A and B are shown apart, each in its own frame.
Chain A
Amino acid sequence: MRYLTALLVLLVSLCASAADTQRPQFTFTAIPDQNEAELIRRFQQVADYLSKELDMDVKYIPVKSYPAAITAFRNNQVQLAWFGGLSGVQARKAVPGSQAIAQGYEDQFFKSYFIAHSSTGLKPGDKLPQALAGKTFTFGSKGSTSGRLMPEFYIRQAFGKAPEQVFSRVGFSGDHSRTIALVQSGAYDVGAVNYSVWDKAVANGDVDTSKVSVIWTTPTYADYQWTVRGDIDQQFGAGFQDRLTKALLGITDKAILDGFPRSKFVPANNHTYDAVEQTAKQIGLLDDF
């Protein structure tokens, strides 16, 4: 009986929460691709900016993992998200009708760096050195475009084998900052990292370049973007998506742009990421057997 009462309480509180969501709150999130403190600083600025531009309360919620960001988007806990190339493709597959609306100028030609610990003796070159075989290697997050998808694609291209067969150990550090830290400490010989996170860390003096350095740069590909849910106009009124897009493209505040770091935001659409989707299918990351 007491259990039934508890169930009843539970149901009532569920209804109460359903009633709460009558007045929609506009919330966005971002994939946690680097240092959390840095992300919170960056996206709090964006939230403040959007609140002012759209004249409504805009909230940023931090998440712990890439799938958590996608799940929040899918479950309408957030209506807008800053995704990577691959996570954006996954999210748009999960929520039919959703749209990529803007990307950073730099995201049109994004790239990854392969970085190596000095003790490996690997030297920078214009292709992936065969001496990589047998070393230990770390990706970033499992679902990262610049830290997993593209590096894995080029490893497979260069060696004709899966990374697990090329390297003596393959790990997933979780994010780009951690990849740099792990290769710098020597926990892994080699790693693949988002070029923008690396460049910023080097500029900030967070990297000991005598211990870890770039040995190869991948060709360019399309990466990060802002994606909105397809039902956003139903939730927030007709024309909301256009106003949001305009607001994002209109970010000129240097403090916000430097936080990303991007020079400006430019329009994007779902087809911008067709190549990313193809690559993900080729290496078996998206359902295809």
Chain B
Amino acid sequence: MKQFLQQSRSLRALTLYFALVALFCLAFADLAVSTRSPGHELWLMARGLLTPQIPDTHQWLDAALYTLTFSLQGVVLAALCGFIFAIFYHRAWVRFLAAFLRSIHEVFWALIFIQIFGISTLAGVLAIALPFSGTMAKVYGEQLEEIDRAPARAIAPGRNNSVSQFFYAKLPLALHAMRHYTAYRMECAIRSSVVLGFIGLPTLGFHLETALRTGEYSAASALLLTLLAMIYSLRFWFRAKLLWLLVPAVFIARPLTADWHGDNLARFLWDCVPAPIREGWAPEKTLRWLGWLGEQAASGGWNTFLLAQIALVLTGLFALAGSTLNSSHFMRGWVRACGDGLLLILRSLPEYLLNFIGLIVLGPSMLPAIIAITLHNGAIIGHLLGKHSDEVAPAVMPSGPLSRFAYHYVPTLYQRFLAYCFYRWEIIIRETAMLGILGIPTLGFYIDSAFEFLRFDVAMILILVSAAMTMAADIISRRLRQQFLQLA
């Protein structure tokens, strides 16, 4: 009992610290609404949403096919690599490599690969496959670690890590969870594939960006519904049996091609060497360059931190409240189905897209990004948490929904809730940095500018800064999880 009290006190303190940091950040954040008549634009959007229309069927089919092939090829390659990493996940350098791969956002990978391979299938597929393999390595690795060790010990006592032991006594135990997770990654890959269209690859996002930018909301609505349809239909076609057919089919339909020339790669790599070394600058000039670079890294990093911490706490609040929509403690029957449907729709919309729409409606500030990240991540956590709450026994004393929420629901689920939030923390930082591409002054803004002026050395350094921030969040959240949360 004493231990329990101590633990709940420390959880409360932990929450308080995060909330205080977010409040502190709020004081510095730019949250202005600068459009004068957001209502009008919203009305146009709503009208467009209800009247979906495909202006060019051929173009639409082509984009849909590209979206599918990018995501399927990316996930298949990522699952293979991730699986191999997971086998060796006990080695520190594998864990580091996986953490590094996933700390750089798909969009940044794509910007790099477009430089090397041109606008091509290979660039798109690699941009998805690399970060995803890092994420899948982590989850597969943890799933393999969490299995019951007894069968493995029983087969070959004393020996550890033999190949047959792995395939007969370890893998089968984790396989179900791994399959389940791979299906979820496929959903993420479709989202990522759409987002890559926004920066020029030929997926649905390419036309979605055009449609949103020019206010053709009916076309945008059709594309959006296509995205949702793809994600919802996953459960019908993303199955082991069909994949034996589908995977070769997509590799034949859209083979991995690239505008590939050795000298493009050589030149790109040469350009990635920091300018002072590449061009042999004098120390004075180098110092000026370093000052200029440092300013961008500092300002970008600071804004990324501000935005991410605010978004993290709001994500938590939204997730706690939103999870009740998918919880048997509060909703039943069709009401719950609707509530869960709402969370699933919010979860299906990429934060890049939500931010893009937010910028049109609210104008340029950090507000659209905060809303976008909160809705997307909050819906993901909310959905999971709600589902998890079904395992919790109903409250013993009958009481109203509000007191049930405050005195039964939240306290019993709080550890699980914090664990989910910490898991999302690194992802939120990664996303925040990336959203700068849309104009908020986080790291992505400066990275995009560096690409704009072909300063690949600067782009690489700033991408490494964002990777370092993401990995720092990963490490801290792992420590916090170990220290404060004892989950089975």
Residues on A facing B (Cβ under 8 Å):
2-3, 6, 9-10, 13-14, 16-18, 20-21, 35-37, 61, 63-68, 70-72, 74-77, 90, 94, 119, 136, 141-143, 169, 171-172, 174, 177-178, 181, 185-188, 284-287, 289
Contacts and interface: CB of A to CB of B under 8 A. Distances in A.
Nearest to B448: A142
B436 to A, nearest CB: 11
A13 B80 contact: no
30 contacts: A3-B81, A13-B257, A14-B122, A14-B257, A16-B255, A16-B257, A17-B255, A17-B259, A20-B257, A63-B200, A64-B209, A67-B454, A68-B119, A70-B454, A74-B267, A75-B118, A75-B264, A90-B453, A90-B454, A119-B36, A141-B452, A143-B452, A143-B453, A171-B364, A171-B439, A185-B35, A185-B36, A186-B34, A187-B35, A289-B292
Contacts of A37: 210, 214
B41 interface: yes
Interface string B241-268: 0000000000100011111110010010
B81 A17 contact: no
B165 interface: no
A18 B36 contact: no
A182 to B, nearest CB: 8
Given A13-B256, A64-B209, A186-B34, 7 more contacts: A2-B80, A13-B255, A63-B119, A64-B200, A185-B35, A289-B285, A289-B288
Contact of B451 (A67, A187, A289): A67
Contacts of A18: 260
Contacts of A286: 453
B79 to A, nearest CB: 10
Interface residues of B, number: 51
A287 B213 contact: no
Contacts of B259: 17, 21, 75-77
Contacts of A65: 199-200, 452
B363 interface: yes
A46 to B, nearest CB: 20
B452 A67 contact: yes
A76 B453 contact: no
Contacts of B255: 13, 16-17
Given A65-B199, A143-B453, A36 B210 contact: yes
A65 B114 CA distance: 12
A185 B199 CA distance: 25
A36 B210 CA distance: 7
Contact of A142 (B36, B258, B264, B452): B452
A35 B214 contact: yes
B364 A71 contact: no
Nearest to A87: B452
Residue of B119, B209, B452 contacting most chain A CB atoms (<10 Å): B452
A177 B264 CA distance: 33
A171 B41 CA distance: 20
B34 A136 contact: yes
Give 9 nearest A-B pairs by CB, closest first: A186-B36, A64-B200, A17-B257, A187-B363, A289-B288, A142-B452, A289-B289, A13-B255, A36-B210
B8 interface: no
Contacts of A17: 255, 257-260
Contacts of A74: 264, 267
A35 B214 CA distance: 7
